[in-house]
Each structure stands twice: as structure tokens, then as C-alpha cells.
């Protein structure tokens, strides 16, 4: 493919340099049409093929040493280096997703229900049956009733009742992940909408007795409809379209990776949960036209690495840099999660309530978090990206404890791993930092800034935050 190179016109730049046979490496000042500014973010290059915003593509300056690439911020790294390929294919296991809405996972993760209700808002009743091994619904019976209540019967079964009359309509013995009651709305198109627990959902539902004598509730939904729901929870409809597209691909890749692996929630009968243990999802009620556009314009596109779908982790904000997976989780299972400097987020600090934060803890409060008595010192170690990856604590009695990797966030109950620790005049420990989340993969506020303020596309965003990845079409 022939590359079109745009050259920055000399008339657009005012250089400060000393001539020594070539251009010197001094500061370049750019006129952004309103004032002289040291930022390149609002500058355009002009070439034979037209104009292009600096930082959004292949823009070069002609210097005494030849063509030099110009990035959106000359102090930043090149991130992940861009997408390796955009037109490959990657195998996915299914395009039908099972989402655990209410379920039993352990004694501390038990949201199972004594009864569950459905209401068909767009349609004419329900079918009863089961989903086969290909996740296709097989109907056994049906009803025109649009308001249903599912209850436990005989200790091991689930009965379906008309909510308004109490009449039993259907029942099944359901005590295993492979023997579940399935209910599918009757509708003339694929956009049937069912109300459950105050939220609207596309697709059908499964119910089973899978722990603690309660009903598990599972939404069975097309992957693209699921991704719309995730995007509506993870970003706002008002966000830039390119950021929403990047989010859609991340959400789609993440859930596809989970369905590839039976070690996650397989025994619970579903692929992912609807909360922050996986991805936030509460159906389709808040999906707007912009989110629909973002999902539909990237349909069936996945992030891949070496021919496999990526677990495309993302989070709210990094505060200045993401981090290597090894430094957070202690393994090399995700080689595409490599820390990158992030100069972009700062342009949306006014929108991000966690662009800066501060917590103050007494020596005793800090000691309680790490299992020591009163703490006398807390010394943090930092990665090359400037994130906390270890903290050594010493108590007033001389005992020591070390906190490593992700525990620098979770054990310390800090919003992120990007912070400093100081001791003030009162003897308290002050944690000052920025960002919110685990610092792995894509920063959502960074994506917002890159799209809105730097003119970057979703491909630019993904290629920056993930290293060595490709954009691939899913193949069943």
C-alpha cells in the first residue's frame, strides 16, 4: 500500500534553533490560529492530499535530517505502536452470550432470587423450552400471557405462573447448569424487549437452581445487543463516537475471550456476570442512537493477538500512564497489556472527578489495612511508568509487611496505583494520586480525549493502548 505523506509547511511553524549544519533539537512553537502555543494538538499539516490533524495519522516534518514523524504530543511515547493488521480473522466460540444477572457463585457472591418476574413490553407473550448446545432456543410450549413469575416448587423445580392470576403455566425440574428452564419472548422481529427487575433486556432468559436454594437468572442475548448494553453502562451516549467505537470493540473482545474459556463461570451456567467482576451490563434501556451507531459500525470486529481474541481490559482513567500486566497481576498471560505513557487524559481533567485525589490516614488506620500495628514508615517502589508496584511498611514495633502489585490499589483501597505517599507534620500518611481503576489496557477518559481533542479514530486509540494487536473479523 502506498503511503500518503503530509508535510508540515514551514509557514505554519516558527522555529527557535541554532544552525549547526542541521536543525537543532530546540523547542518548536506552533501557531494554533489564536495564539502561539507549544502544543501540536490543534495544528494541521497541509499536503497534496489535503489537510490532516497532527497526531491523527502519518504526518511528518521536513528537517535537516530528513522526514521526522510528528505525534500528537512530542513528550509522549508511541504507545502500542499502532495496529499490526486490520483485516484478519479470529475464531470465536459463539455469538450468543449468556449473562448472569442473579446467581450463586459463593457465600459472599449470592444474588439468587426466591422468585423472579418478567414482563414482555414489545411482543405477544412467551415460549417455554430450552437452549440447545448451539445456544439456539427450542420451543416446547407457549403462552400469550405477558407478565410471568418464576418460583421454586418442590424444592428442586421451577414453576412459571401468570403474575396477574397465579395460574401455573409451565414447570421444570432444574438443578444443574445443563437443565435450565428457558423463556423466550414471542415477537415478529429480533428486537423484543422484556422487563426484569426494573431494567429492559433484549433476548431470552434461563432459570436454574444452582446454589443456596435460589433461582439463578441468566439473560441469553446476541453479542451485538449485549455490547450495546455494555457500552451504555461503561460510557455515556454523549461521548465522542470514536471513543464509543473503541469501547464497543473492547467489550466485544472481552466477552468473546470469556466464552472461549470454561474456567470462569462455566459451572454457573453463564459466560459473564453483569457487574464489575466482568463488565457492567443492565440491558438495553439506556442504549441511544449514537451507541447503536458505534456498535453497528464495528460489528463483528475483535482485538486479537497472535491469532487469538484479546482479553481487552479497560478502566476509567490512568492519571498519566497505564501499566504492564506483570506489574499488576504478576504474570505474562497478556503480552499486549504493556504500560504506555498517556499525555492525552489531561485535556479532559475537568470531566474526570478522579483526575486528582487525596487521602490521609493515621498510622493506626494504615496499619489496620496491612495487618500491622501503628505504621512508622511506608516506602513505595515505582515502575518505569511511574505507578506504584510495591510498598514496604514498618510498624512502630519494628514489624514489616510488603504489599505488591494490584494489592497496592485494592488492599490500600486507593482509586488507582498512580500515587505518592508522604508523611505530614501531624504524623499522618498522605496518599495523593490520579486516575481510577487497574491501569491495564485502555483508559476510557484517555479515549475520550484522543477522539475529541486529538482527532484520533478508534483504530488509533486501540493501537495506542494495546501493544502488538490486530483488528480481526470474528469467525465461528
pLDDT per position as a tens digit, 234-268: 999 999 999 999 999 999 999 999 997 766 788 88
**pLDDT for residue 445:** 98
pLDDT per position as a tens digit, 361-387: 999 999 999 999 999 999 999 999 999
Q: Could you tell me which residues come within 8 angstroms of residue 389 by beta carbon, excluding any fewer than 6 positions away?
A: 323, 327, 328, 381, 382, 383, 404, 405, 408, 417
315: Cα separation from own chain's centroid = 5
The enclosing H or E element of 29 equals strand 28-31
**pLDDT for residue 447:** 98
Gap between the Cα atoms of 446 and 463, Å rounded: 13
**Domain regions of the chain by residue span:** 6-69, 96-223, 226-345+440-475, 357-433
Question: From first to last of its 476 residues, what are the pLDDT tens digits of the chain?
Answer: 433 333 333 333 333 333 333 333 333 334 444 444 434 444 455 544 455 544 444 444 544 333 344 443 333 357 999 999 999 999 999 999 999 999 989 889 999 999 999 998 777 899 999 999 999 999 999 999 999 999 998 777 899 999 999 999 999 987 666 678 999 999 866 678 999 999 999 999 999 887 778 899 999 999 999 999 999 999 999 999 999 999 999 999 999 999 977 667 888 889 999 998 999 999 999 999 999 999 999 999 999 999 999 999 999 999 999 999 999 999 999 999 999 999 999 999 999 999 999 999 999 999 999 999 999 999 999 999 999 999 999 999 999 999 999 999 999 999 999 999 999 999 999 999 999 999 999 999 999 999 999 999 999 999 999 999 999 999 99
Gap between the Cα atoms of 54 and 60, Å rounded: 9
Tell me the three cell numbers of residue 451: 477522539
Tell me the three cell numbers of residue 446: 484517555
pLDDT per position as a tens digit, 451-476: 999 999 999 999 999 999 999 999 99
**pLDDT for residue 70:** 46
**pLDDT for residue 179:** 78
**pLDDT for residue 45:** 56
**pLDDT for residue 210:** 76
**pLDDT for residue 213:** 81
Gap between the Cα atoms of 378 and 128, Å rounded: 60
**pLDDT for residue 190:** 64
Q: How far is CA 5 from CA 10, 305, 333, 363, 462, in A?
A: 15, 28, 37, 58, 22
Tell me the three cell numbers of residue 326: 506483570
**pLDDT for residue 177:** 65
Segments of 163-313 assigned E as strands: 168-173, 181-185, 193-196, 199-201, 204-209, 215-222, 272-273, 301-305, 308-309
Amino acid at each position: 500500500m502506498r503511503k500518503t505523506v503530509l508535510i508540515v509547511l514551514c509557514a505554519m511553524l516558527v522555529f527557535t534553533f541554532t544552525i549547526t549544519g542541521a536543525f537543532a533539537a530546540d523547542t518548536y512553537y506552533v501557531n494554533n490560529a489564536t495564539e502561539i502555543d507549544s502544543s501540536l494538538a490543534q495544528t494541521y499539516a497541509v499536503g497534496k492530499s489535503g489537510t490532516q490533524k497532527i497526531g491523527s495519522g502519518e504526518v511528518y516534518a521536513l528537517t535537516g535530517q530528513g522526514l521526522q514523524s510528528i505525534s500528537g504530543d512530542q513528550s509522549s511515547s508511541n504507545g502500542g505502536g499502532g495496529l499490526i493488521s486490520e483485516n484478519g480473522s479470529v475464531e470465536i466460540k459463539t455469538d450468543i452470550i449468556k449473562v448472569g444477572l442473579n446467581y450463586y457463585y459463593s457465600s459472599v457472591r449470592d444474588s439468587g432470587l426466591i422468585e423472579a418476574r418478567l414482563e414482555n413490553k414489545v411482543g405477544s407473550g412467551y415460549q417455554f423450552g430450552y437452549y440447545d448446545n448451539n445456544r439456539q432456543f427450542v420451543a416446547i410450549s407457549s403462552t400469550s400471557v405477558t407478565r410471568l413469575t418464576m418460583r421454586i416448587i418442590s424444592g428442586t423445580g421451577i414453576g412459571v405462573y401468570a403474575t396477574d392470576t397465579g395460574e401455573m403455566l409451565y414447570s421444570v425440574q432444574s438443578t444443574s447448569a445443563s437443565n435450565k428452564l428457558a423463556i423466550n419472548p414471542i415477537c415478529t422481529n429480533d428486537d423484543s424487549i422484556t422487563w426484569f427487575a426494573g431494567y429492559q433486556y433484549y433476548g431470552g432468559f434461563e432459570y436454574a437452581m444452582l446454589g443456596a436454594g435460589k433461582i439463578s437468572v441468566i439473560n441469553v442475548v446476541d453479542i451485538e445487543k449485549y455490547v450495546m448494553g455494555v457500552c451504555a453502562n461503561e460510557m455515556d451516549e454523549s461521548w465522542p463516537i470514536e471513543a464509543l467505537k473503541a469501547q464497543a470493540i473492547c467489550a466485544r473482545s472481552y466477552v468473546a475471550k470469556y466464552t472461549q474459556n470454561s474456567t470462569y463461570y462455566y459451572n454457573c451456567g453463564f459466560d459473564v456476570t453483569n457487574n464489575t467482576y466482568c463488565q457492567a451490563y443492565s440491558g438495553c434501556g439506556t442504549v441511544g442512537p449514537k451507541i447503536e451507531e458505534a456498535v453497528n459500525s464495528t460489528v463483528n470486529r475483535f482485538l486479537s493477538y497472535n491469532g487469538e481474541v484479546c482479553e481487552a481490559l479497560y478502566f476509567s482513567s490512568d492519571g498519566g500512564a497505564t501499566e504492564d500486566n506483570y506489574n499488576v497481576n504478576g504474570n505474562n498471560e497478556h503480552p499486549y497489556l504493556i504500560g504506555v505513557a498517556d499525555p492525552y487524559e489531561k485535556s479532559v481533567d475537568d470531566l474526570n472527578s478522579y483526575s486528582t485525589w487525596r487521602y490521609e490516614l493515621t498510622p493506626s488506620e494504615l496499619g489496620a489495612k496491612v495487618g500491622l500495628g501503628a505504621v512508622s514508615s511506608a516506602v513505595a517502589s515505582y515502575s518505569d511508568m511511574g505507578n506504584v508496584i510495591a510498598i514496604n511498611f514498618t510498624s512502630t514495633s519494628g514489624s514489616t509487611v510488603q504489599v505488591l502489585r494490584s494489592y497496592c490499589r485494592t488492599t490500600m483501597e486507593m482509586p488507582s496505583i498512580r500515587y505518592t505517599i508522604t508523611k505530614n507534620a501531624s504524623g499522618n500518611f498522605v496518599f495523593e494520586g490520579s486516575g481510577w481503576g487497574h491501569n491495564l489496557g485502555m483508559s476510557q477518559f484517555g479515549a475520550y480525549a484522543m477522539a475529541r481533542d486529538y482527532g484520533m479514530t478508534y483504530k488509533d486509540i486501540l493501537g495506542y493502548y494495546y501493544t502488538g494487536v490486530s483488528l480481526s473479523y470474528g469467525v465461528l
